Chains A and B, each alone.
Chain A
């Protein structure tokens, strides 16, 4: 990797509107080179003159020609990102951080739990699992959103649901009468998923409260805490553990995370004073 503090220039090749406030960028490197990353990693995305934010990589790690970022417009930088058009430029530093330990999890049942904009960081893991499907046991994706209109990657979820070797359950917190799917928080789906707890690993991504309750539900089902993985996103600034903004106990989230083993990080994750 080049100097981690120097952004590499990328141009927007395409913008996909996933929901009213979630969008995906397809980026191409201005230098024409490829972009290599592993599922779970993120980039620092720099909007010139506005600022920089960490954004998870939502594309397929096997396709190095294009870089996909999916995020939600919630602040000054992400609102500015949404306003950019095809052909506009952004700076990218990365990839940074830890990865979903997919090689280590071969042979296990996999439960992926995604809440809201937690699905984009899990999508590269789904691509990897589906490409190497025979290496894993039963695989289930539990996906929660606020309303049916807030479900990101809806068409892709339908395609995945159509596979016989991948269980997909989608739920929304609230819905109108025309919604025929599930209603309820995503944690309620854990009790319905079919897996063998003692040989199951869980990958969980979403708001921290959701992850906390999802971990509790998974533990209730008998999944070991050291077989659960979560992602954290608190205060990431430099991406290389230099500035210290994202320190959480003995770790830097930007460098040692964003993916953490739940059994390892739990005592710091649940600590209220930090």
Chain B
């Protein structure tokens, strides 16, 4: 059976992370399972955890009164959810819901933030990884806004 560090080392989010950082990260992590429909993150609540998805799929959602949840982007194996753990004010900005059963590695954000504060090199490593996710999501959202398959522009 693989250790948590081994599982993390194989995950896209942690690719090429130095072993000593992986060990520190694994110290704040645990495996977690979510059933379909369960929330991983809830808009406005404390961003106490972030998740790297090992199996299953989830959806980033915005809740619209009178309409219900609107899916913005789907997440799957290899994706991470809940980047607000690293960015003040440490509150989730959107919902993330399991679409089908999700197996994830859950990280205690507060525990990891304390380690990042104490070890700026570790913090910078995480900041770069999280920023890559944020930039990729921003880029994807911009393409969605362009409506590239619409008749008006293209």
Contacts and interface: CB of A to CB of B under 8 A. Distances in A.
Nearest to B76: A192
Interface of B: 12, 57, 59, 68-74, 76-79, 99, 136, 139-140, 143-144, 146-151, 154
The 9 closest A-B pairs by CB, nearest first: A116-B149, A146-B149, A184-B73, A182-B74, A185-B143, A183-B71, A207-B148, A207-B154, A183-B74
Contacts of A174: 144
A187 B143 CA distance: 9
A181 B73 CA distance: 10
Nearest to A180: B99
B140 A191 contact: no
Given A115-B148, A115-B149, A116-B148, A183 B59 contact: yes
A184 B140 contact: yes
Interface residues of A, number: 31
A198 B76 CA distance: 24
B28 to A, nearest CB: 25
Interface string A5-44: 0000000000000000100000000000000000000000
26 contacts: A115-B148, A115-B149, A117-B149, A144-B149, A146-B147, A146-B149, A146-B150, A171-B74, A175-B71, A177-B68, A177-B69, A179-B71, A182-B74, A183-B72, A183-B74, A184-B73, A184-B140, A185-B144, A188-B73, A191-B136, A192-B76, A192-B78, A207-B149, A207-B154, A208-B154, A210-B143
